[in-house]
Amino acid sequence: MGLGDVAAVLAKASGGDGEAFALLVNSHARTAFRLAYRLTGNERDAEDVVQESFIRAYRQLSRFEARSNFATWLHRIVVNCAMDSLRGRQVRRERLADPVEDMPDVAASDCPSPERLAMSDEIRRRVDASMAELTPQERVAFALRHYEGRSIDEIGRTLGVQTSAAKHAVFRAVKKIRVALEPLRSTP
């Protein structure tokens, strides 16, 4: 979709045109899923976050400013929905003391290549475990910085916190991940 097309579709969608909104969903769903997956770490939650994000976007479309970038606006909504999902997960975990729920999917590979795969699986397992221990803010800040390449300033704005708070959230996250991976470093 070109820029002019996006503006026209947005104008129609803001006016309640479901067809236009469907086109926006179609254009942005895959990007939203990639982001949601990186923030939540598992497919099921990512799917829920994507759906919830588009529903929120539809409800708030009248507040969207035409001059803004829809992708940027949606990005923020996905981050907020992912934060809510992670908070919900944290609350459930505290209630049920069920760490299993937080273990993200470990994708099965069709072509196992012995040691390298075993090592990367172990890294992934440890990273997943340490990520599950992060607060929602630490996790999201780390994912945005590390996987999405967003600047600390940008992360602060997205999360609605000071830059220093965003920075320290990333620091704490990396420290925890580092502790989890440290034993692998000493492995010959």
Partner 1 sequence: MTHCSDDELLLEYYGEESGSTTHRLVCAECTARYRALKQMLDDVTLEPPERDDRYGLEVWQAIRHRLPARESRWHAMLTPRWGLAAAAALLLAVGFTAGRLWPRVDPTAPPSMALSTPNAVAVSATADDEARRRVVLLTINDHFDRSDGVLAEVMNAGSPRDLSAEQQRAADLVAASRLYRRNAVVINEPAMAAVLEEVERVLLDIVHQPPQATAADLDAIRRRIDAAGLLFKVRVMTNELQHRLEQPSSAPPTSTSTIG
Binding residues for partner 1, rule: CB under 8 A, are: 1-2, 5, 16-19, 21-23, 25-30, 33-34, 37-38, 41, 43, 46, 50-51, 54-55, 58-59, 107, 120, 123, 127, 143, 145-147, 151-152, 167, 170-171, 174-175, 177-178, 181, 185
Tokens of 46: 């990512």
Q: Count CB atoms within 10 A of the CB of residue 7.
A: 14
Minimum CB separation of residue 110 from partner 1 in Å reads 13
What Cα–Cα distance (Å) separates residue 25 from each residue in 83, 97, 125?
A: 21, 36, 33
Q: Provide the phi-psi class of 96: left if phi over 0, else alpha when psi is between -120 and 50, else beta.
A: alpha
Minimum CB separation of residue 34 from partner 1 in Å reads 5
Nearer to partner 1, 157 or 167 (CB): 167
Q: CA 57 to CA 70: how far, in whole Å?
A: 10
Minimum CB separation of residue 51 from partner 1 in Å reads 5
